[in-house]
Each structure stands twice: as structure tokens, then as C-alpha cells.
A and B are shown apart, each in its own frame.
Chain A
């Protein structure tokens, strides 16, 4: 027998052993939590199966082993499982607290005084020169501010459609200020409007694009928001053709926030990808599991 055959044989044995130990522990867990009368029912069934075959030993051994294990280790195992359950609960509580913190941090990071003062200055100016436009910008500002309040957000902010709508309020304000220096393109199909999407992520990416990509660029540029489904994954992408990312620039509280929240909400199933395409500018892409709509 060659060495490779021996090796593959050993691998096979190792796999079998691993599988057996997984099954054993699953059986162990089940024993620990199963009720006595259900266990007694399985004993009865085992005898029913084995007795006609005239070999009651396996059923007998099953009874002895399961009884012994349940009496001796069941209590401890049950406590362990309950502890695990409690930990999961605690994790959910942590997640909720973190989300709240993230929202508060987002709020503080989002409504920066510069933006607020400049927009108010613009409204003040438009009141004299173009009152209807002043009213429009004013309405957008209110909508934007409302979207940044955690209490307001919790209600029905959790769909992609709502997030797009709120982002449009911010973009309208920035367009009123930057005029032809800012172009906006939305490529979000209507059917994705009901897909669940965490609040304040899209806005953060759009604000980053404008603040770090387009505002420093003399000619300005275009922000493109794109959403599509690829298999079971929802892709939401914000691209700009601005100055790109300086490798020494701090990635800021905003992106770290998004990354952490995606991790807490979806674990390894979600991801934030930042890229600089060959054509220039920067792209931020959020990937997360696609669901048609909020399920209870």
C-alpha cells in the first residue's frame, strides 16, 4: 500500500470519527433537554422495534445508557445550554445597545455644524431672492434632520426605499448649494424599495462621497447610487468621480460604524467594500442578505 493510500485511509477514519463525535454530542444535547416521559416513550418504541426481531439487547442498552447519561450529566448539560441561551440573549441586548450607540454617534457625526450653518445661510439668502426655492430647501432640511433622529428613524426607516428617499433630501440640499458642481444618479429598481436595509448607512456613504470626493474637486462631479440583487445578496453601491481616497486619511467614525453594525446585524453574511475604480473616484459597496420585505 502506498503512502498516499494510507494517508487517504487515515483521513477517512478521521472524518468518520469526527462525524461520530458530532452525532454523539447531538444525542447528548438532546438527552439533556428531553422530558422524561418522552424519553420513556422512545424506550417503549425501541422495544417495539427490537422485540419482533428477537434481539432486545440493543434496546436494553439504549435504555441503560440514556438513563445513565441523563441522570449523571443531564443536569450539568442542561445548565450549560441554558447559560448559552442566556448569552445569546445578552448578545442580542448588546447588539441593540450598540445599534443605539451607533445611531447616536451617527447623529453626532452626521449633522455637522458646517452643513447646518451653510444650509441655513442658503435658506436665509433664498428667502430674499427665490422664496419658493427657499421653502423647498427648508422642507428638505427638516426631512433630513428628522431622518437623523434615532426615535424617528426606528419607526419605518428600515427599508431601502425609505433610505433612498431620505438620502434624496440631503442630496437636494447639496445640489441647491453646489449647483452644477453636483450631479446625482439613482439606479435603484422600484421592486427593491421594500427590501429591508439598515438606517443611516446609505446617507453616510453619500455624505462621504460629497465631502471627501466631490467638494474638494473644483469641477465637482457625479454621485451614483446603484442597487441590485445578485443571487441572494443585495448590493447597494455609492460611487463618485471625485478626488479618490488618500491612503493616509482616517477612515472616520462613519465607515467604522457601518462595518461594526453590519457585523452585529448579519455576521459574516454582510460586507462593506471600498474600491477605487480605474476610471477614478471612489466606490463604497454594501453587500447584505437579500429579503423581499420585512418579516416578523
Chain B
């Protein structure tokens, strides 16, 4: 590939989901690197990979946050053929990683000076056999897992957060924060919130496995209760432990196997 680059004009691809950003980068590149030929523009990650494989550009400018597939994931499929330059307006963690891994990146909106510096560096890198950094694949893998891990902490959890209940033709999404308790009936599981009751097909066993065990406790073979919703636990005349839901008229039996949950200290 290196031999090719000396003979012909270098090619590039721009990938960004926001059209104005693609326009700006194209305009800037035209002024700081007029010989560079823009062969493709992609509006999302999936398109970037497809166009990247089709046009095999020497350089791929990839926005980090794109629908379909992130710029970093796209880079993992493109880095063996194209030199990658990331672009972002704000991504603290990614920027740190770029600095450490000596990956090229641009901050949006792209200034002419910064772009000129980056282009100069890319030109120098293109002079050595490709890929210039043999460990770039590892770096990208590390970056992907790091970003995934971070988004998991923030938005995605391993536990079930929404209960889906069929109401008419729609699927009602009940946040687990609204649920006071689950109780299994013969065929269905009853989901009780402060204002409504739903029946779902998911069994109590499945729920117990999928819900956060710190959020819901099993107090009976047929009952899962939200820990925050517990008001008090008292013995009734027959000696059973009865659990009252806070501010609500519900009373649930605690079975013998689970009384240890409410032992006095």
C-alpha cells in the first residue's frame, strides 16, 4: 500500500452522522490538504464500514458517536486498510485513551490549524509501512471494552429494569421502581404498583433471577417484595409474620423459610 501512496493522490472517507460536520471537515480538508481526495461520506457506523470496504480509502475520519455502530467499532473493522483519525466534540474518556495510545483525533468544530497539524502527522505516518502501529487493533479493542463498560455503568445494567405487561394492543412498560411486589397466581404473575395491577406471563422464578436481588426480596414461595416498599413486619394472631407495604393497604405473608430476613438484631 505504501508504494501506491507515493504514486497517486491519497484518498479519504468522512463519517459523521451530522451533515453540517461533514461539510465543515470537507471544506477544511480542501484548504489544508487540497490533494487529498474525498472518495466517500458516511452518515453512520454501518455505512462507514461498508463504504470503507468498497472504496478502501487511505484515511478514514470517524466520528465517535454515530447511530448503528460507533466510530470506534467501525475503526476495528477498517484499521487494517485505512489510517484512522477520530473526531469528537466531547468524550473525556476517549480523549485520554487517544492521547495514551497515540491515536490521531480531531476536536469538533475542527480548526484549520489543528487539522493542518494532524494532516502533517498522518502524512508522516503514511511514509512507513502500513499499518504504522501494529498494536492498534489491541488499542481499539481496549477502547471498545472501556467505553462499553462505562456506558454499562451509566445506562445499562445486567438486571431487569422494566416489566413488560400487555395492556390491550400496547406493551405497558412498568419501571421496577414503581413495583411494590410480585405475586404468583396459578397461571400469571401479578405485578402491583401504587396505582395499578398488571398480570404478566413471566414466572416468579424467572423474575427472581433477572431482578436485582438488592432491590427485591423473596419473602414467600409466591411473593417477591420491593425492599424500599416494606413498611413493617409484625406477627398476627396465628403467629405468622405479616409484612405491611408502606403507605399502602397491602399485607403479605412471610413464609417460615424467609423469616430470617426480618430477625431482630
Residues of A within 8 A of B (CB): 113-114, 116-118, 120-122, 124-126, 128-129, 176-179, 181, 215-218, 220, 245-252, 255-256, 259, 268, 271, 273-278, 282-283
Contacts and interface: CB of A to CB of B under 8 A. Distances in A.
Interface stretch (B32-40, B168-176, B229-237): B168-176
A245 B172 CA distance: 11
B143 interface: no
B164 A274 contact: no
Contacts of A216: 67-68
A282 B67 CA distance: 18
Contact of A245 (B27, B67, B68, B173): B173
Interface centre among B68, B156, B158, B162 (most CB of A within 10 A): B162
A255 B20 contact: no
Interface string B143-176: 0000000000011111111111001011111111
A209 B74 CA distance: 25
B242 interface: no
B195 interface: yes
Contacts of B154: 250
A180 to B, nearest CB: 9
Nearest to A124: B109
B205 to A, nearest CB: 17
7 contacts: A120-B109, A124-B109, A218-B68, A247-B163, A248-B162, A250-B157, A277-B171
Given A125-B109, A259-B178, A250 B155 contact: yes
Interface size class of B (residues with CB under 8 A): 35 or more
B21 interface: yes
Contact of B67 (A117, A176, A218): A218
Nearest to B19: A179
B109 A276 contact: no
Contacts of B167: 275
Interface of B: 17-21, 23-24, 27, 43-44, 46-47, 65, 67-68, 89-91, 108-109, 154-164, 167, 169-178, 194-195
Contacts, number: 122
Contact of A126 (B20, B91, B162): B20
Given A179-B18, A181-B17, A251 B177 contact: yes
B119 to A, nearest CB: 18
Contact of B162 (A114, A249, A268): A249
Contact of A250 (B156, B170, B174): B156
B177 A122 contact: no
A177 to B, nearest CB: 5
Contact of B195 (A178, A248, A251, A268): A268
The 7 closest A-B pairs by CB, nearest first: A117-B90, A124-B109, A117-B89, A274-B173, A121-B108, A125-B24, A276-B171
Contacts of A277: 169-171
Contacts of A181: 17
A259 B27 CA distance: 47
Contact of A129 (B23, B158, B160, B174): B23
Given A114-B90, A126-B20, A268-B195, A248 B158 contact: yes
Given A121-B89, A245-B162, A249-B162, 18 more contacts: A117-B89, A117-B90, A118-B89, A120-B109, A122-B18, A122-B20, A126-B20, A129-B24, A179-B18, A179-B19, A218-B46, A250-B157, A251-B161, A256-B177, A268-B195, A274-B174, A276-B171, A277-B169
B24 A249 contact: no
B146 to A, nearest CB: 17
A181 B46 CA distance: 16
Contacts of A215: 67
Interface centre among B68, B161, B195 (most CB of A within 10 A): B161
